[in-house]
């Protein structure tokens, strides 16, 4: 396994990424960068292209045009290199449900070529931290949604990734577990891990993201720290939620609710 270059300040550079599905332009020439140790929130209404962007960055979906580099590794020419240094929490967990939690994580460790001692240490560290111990030998098919999410998060962190891509990763977690994961993400960022994080829960974005991108119809609508966006929207004392609703043109929700109840 080659070591990622350490010279670049940027962990991720996405340049003019574009992807269409038939006549739907899911991502429309999107350019942004993510620094080491930074948590970047990817916000946007349903269907605005967040998951598609993440999949292109990780080499899961091929862009129609544009490029993405992760620690200097081009996802088109070195997709394995990108996967070696990345962890991914997909929006829908895809687990082998007939395995136990420990068996699944052991399998993920094998895929990364980890040795038995490293796997064991990593698995027990996370099972304890995420309060899953006691259930590690039960079949995943019997896990609750939140327990499956915790296994998915642990799997993404098995290989000590330098870029972590989290697509709505707090889904299904109870408040205590969500807090543990938020603290874990901040700690990872402090250690230098770059984190791209999508969420619809704007309080979470506000609490943990250093910077946010707001997407709409595959385009970048706005970019900045939550405070900058509030200022730019002329709403300095408001929440990120108010700013988001204003920027995405959905602030007049009363009309929508009325239409639905008519």
Residue 120 vs 217, nearer CB to ligand ATP: 217
52 contacts which partner out of ligand ATP, Mg ion, none, CB within 5 to 8 A by kind? ligand ATP
For ligand ATP, the binding residues in 68-127 under the rule CB under 6 A are 91
Q: Which is closer to ligand ATP, CB of 55 or CB of 148? A: 55
Residues contacting 140, CB < 8 A, separation 6+: 95, 96, 97, 98, 99, 100, 101, 104, 148, 151
Question: Of 3, 58, 134, nearest to 150 (Cα)?
Answer: 134
152 binds Mg ion (CB under 5 A): no
Find the binder of ligand ATP among 49, 90, 101, 161 (CB under 6 A): 49
Structure token digits, residue 214: 């707001």
Structure tokens at 226: 């939550």
Name which position in 30, 34, 43, 51 contacts ligand ATP (CB under 6 A): 51
Residue from 34, 41, 43, 44 touching ligand ATP (CB under 6 A): that is 44
Q: How far is the CB of 91 from Mg ion (least distance, A)?
A: 5
Within 8 A by CB and 6+ apart from 164, the residues are 86, 87, 88, 89, 156, 157, 185, 188, 193, 194, 195, 196
Q: Radius of gyration over alpha carbons of the chain, in Å? A: 19
Residues 6+ apart with CB under 8 A from 120: none
Residue 24 touching ligand ATP (CB under 6 A)? yes
Verify binding: residue 48, ligand ATP, rule CB under 6 A: yes
For residues 60 and 233, which CB has a smaller minimum distance to Mg ion in the complex?
60
Q: Which two tokens stand for residue 48?
A: 């605005």
Q: How far apart are CA 158 and CA 192, in angstroms?
A: 16
Q: Residue 24 or residue 238: which is nearer to ligand ATP going by CB?
A: 24
The alpha carbon of 124 is separated from its chain's Cα centroid by a whole number of angstroms, namely 23
| Total residues binding ligand ATP (CB under 6 A) | 12
Verify binding: residue 177, Mg ion, rule CB under 5 A.
Answer: no
Distance between CA atoms of residues 124 and 72, nearest Å: 32
Closest contact distance (angstroms) between CB of 49 and ligand ATP is 4
CA distance 90 to 111: 18
Nearer to ligand ATP, 50 or 122 (CB): 50
Is 52 an interacting residue with respect to Mg ion (CB under 5 A)? no
Give the interface with ligand ATP as residue ranges (CB under 6 A). Answer: 21, 24, 26, 44, 46-52, 91
């Amino acid at each position: 396994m080659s070591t990622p270059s350490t010279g670049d300040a940027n962990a991720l550079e996405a340049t003019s990424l574009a992807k269409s599905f038939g006549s739907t332009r899911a991502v429309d020439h999107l350019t942004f960068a993510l620094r080491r140790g930074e948590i970047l929130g990817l916000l946007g209404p349903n269907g605005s292209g967040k998951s598609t962007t993440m999949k292109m960055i990780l080499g899961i979906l091929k862009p129609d045009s544009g490029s993405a580099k992760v620690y200097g590794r081009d996802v088109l020419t070195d997709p394995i290199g990108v996967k070696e240094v990345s962890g991914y929490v997909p929006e829908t967990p895809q687990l082998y449900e007939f395995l136990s939690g420990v068996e699944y994580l052991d399998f993920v460790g094998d895929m990364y070529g980890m040795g038995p001692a490293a796997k064991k240490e990593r698995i027990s560290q996370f099972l304890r931290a995420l309060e899953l111990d006691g259930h590690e030998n039960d079949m995943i098919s019997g896990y609750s949604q939140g327990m499956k999410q915790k296994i998915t998060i642990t799997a993404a962190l098995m290989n000590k990734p330098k870029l972590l891509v989290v697509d709505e990763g707090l889904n299904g977690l109870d408040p205590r577990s969500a807090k543990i994961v938020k603290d874990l993400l901040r700690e990872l960022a402090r250690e230098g891990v770059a984190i791209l994080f999508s969420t619809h829960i704007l309080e979470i974005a506000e609490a943990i993201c250093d910077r946010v991108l707001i997407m709409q119809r595959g385009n970048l609508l706005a970019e900045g720290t939550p405070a900058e966006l509030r200022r730019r929207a002329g709403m300095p004392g408001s929440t990120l939620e108010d700013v988001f609703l204003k920027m995405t043109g959905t602030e007049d929700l009363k009309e929508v609710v009325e239409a639905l109840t008519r």
